[in-house]
Structure 1
């Protein structure tokens, strides 16, 4: 499948800012299951490309002159291939065990451990794809999709107690449950062909390490929809949680209020 992608992030400030710095994960990953056919990034200021610790194509954007608007636009076409069983073809240099370490957003609690125990085998036993899809379905039922119910600082434990959240929260709850059972799992940011789902085209999901009878490795799972990743997804970045894989994340120096608008459009093309 070919996906035509356009993603615009616009910041407006009520007062000029003296300085802004933004970390961008807005370039699709180089992986066997996707190929970037064309890609362009447009930003103000100085934009320096680098590869981060997780192998993500990244940029550091800095603006040193006074500004009251920051507009970041990326667009291009990515070719994707079907993923039978959601199984990733990538062979990572990073050991899976580094993705068993909880973060402040994914730290397990007793309640999260109970959710994990309801779907996953006893500690120490192999976890298969069916177990993880069962966990995703459990989370889908426990945390209703509700825009605006949470924010980027909401933890997995808080989202579960609230019973509402968005794709980012679903991913964090799933990660926390996996960590409670010592299962390697990581956060994925990217895009999805929204089709008729009614959800945003900018999306978050997870990769988890499975031991199926015929496969051992990473399987990619969309927790929000309790399904496996397909060729309708484009992967931007992986990390331990939102903070390490967010498409845009930064800080500014200056007064006033900030308004951010994000528009992402993903269209399958021939």
Structure 2
């Protein structure tokens, strides 16, 4: 599939800023099932390109001097290949065990342990793809999709208690369940051709470690839609949670009240 993507992020401030630093994960990852045919990022200030510890193509953006707004535009064309059974078949240099430790956003609790136990095999028995999809279906059923119901700081425990959230909450809750069971799982940020789902084109989902009769490795699962990743997805970054894989994340000095506007447009063709 060919995905034409345009991602515009605009920050407006009530008073001038003196300094901004942003970590950008706005470049598609280099992976077997996707490749960027063209890709550009337009930013103010100075940017430094690097590859982070998770293999994400990243930029560090710094802006010195007074400014009242910040606009970032990433756009390009990505070719994707349908991954059979959501399997990534990566030559990964990172041990999957790196993705078994909880973070502040993916900490476990009694309700999460109960949810994991109801959907995953006994501890010590690696889950197959069918178990992992069953967990996704359960989470999508317990946490209804509702834009604006949570914040980027909302934890997995809080999202489950609230019963409402967005894709990042579904992903964090899934990771919390897997980590409580010792199953490697990691956060994915990227884009999805939303079709007629009504959901945002900027998306978050997960990779989990599956052991099937003919495969052992990462399987990518969209928890919000309770389905395996297809060629309608473009992967930007992986990490342990939102904080390490967010498309844009940073700090500023000054600025007063911040207003954020994000517009993502995706067109697809076979």
**What is the TM-score of this pair, normalised by structure 1?**
0.99
User: Which residue number corresponds to residue 210 of structure 2?
Assistant: 210
Work out whether residues 68 and 255 of structure 2, in 8 Å CA contact, stay in contact via their aligned partners in 1: no
The total of aligned residue pairs comes to 270
Instruction: After superposition, give the CA deviation of every residue in 1:55-110 in whole Å (9 maximum; x if it has no partner).
Output: 00000010001000100000000000011100002111000000001000001111
Matched, 1:157 2:160: no
Instruction: After superposition, give the CA deviation of every residue in 1:190-238 in whole Å (9 maximum; x if it has no partner).
Output: 0000001100000000000010011000000000000000000000000
Distance in 2 separating the partners of 1:174 and 1:91: 24
User: Which residue number corresponds to residue 35 of structure 1?
Assistant: 35
User: Which residue number corresponds to residue 108 of structure 1?
Assistant: 108
- What is the Cα-based RMSD across aligned positions, in Å? 0.6
Where do 4+ consecutive residues of structure 1 move more than 3 Å?
A: none
User: Which residue number corresponds to residue 67 of structure 1?
Assistant: 67
User: Which residue number corresponds to residue 55 of structure 1?
Assistant: 55
Work out whether residues 33 and 90 of structure 1, in 8 Å CA contact, stay in contact via their aligned partners in 2: no
Distance in 1 separating the partners of 2:92 and 2:214: 19
Work out whether residues 184 and 208 of structure 1, in 8 Å CA contact, stay in contact via their aligned partners in 2: yes
Work out whether residues 6 and 74 of structure 1, in 8 Å CA contact, stay in contact via their aligned partners in 2: yes
Structure 1 residue matching 2:32: 3-state secondary structure: coil
Distance in 2 separating the partners of 1:141 and 1:232: 23
Q: Which moved more, 1:80-89 or 1:168-177?
A: 80-89
Instruction: Give the CA deviation at 1:254.
Output: 0.5
Work out whether residues 24 and 248 of structure 1, in 8 Å CA contact, stay in contact via their aligned partners in 2: yes
Work out whether residues 189 and 237 of structure 1, in 8 Å CA contact, stay in contact via their aligned partners in 2: yes
Distance in 2 separating the partners of 1:206 and 1:15: 38
Q: How does 1:1-270 map to 2 (within 5 A)?
A: 1-269=1-269
Unaligned runs of 5+ in 2: none
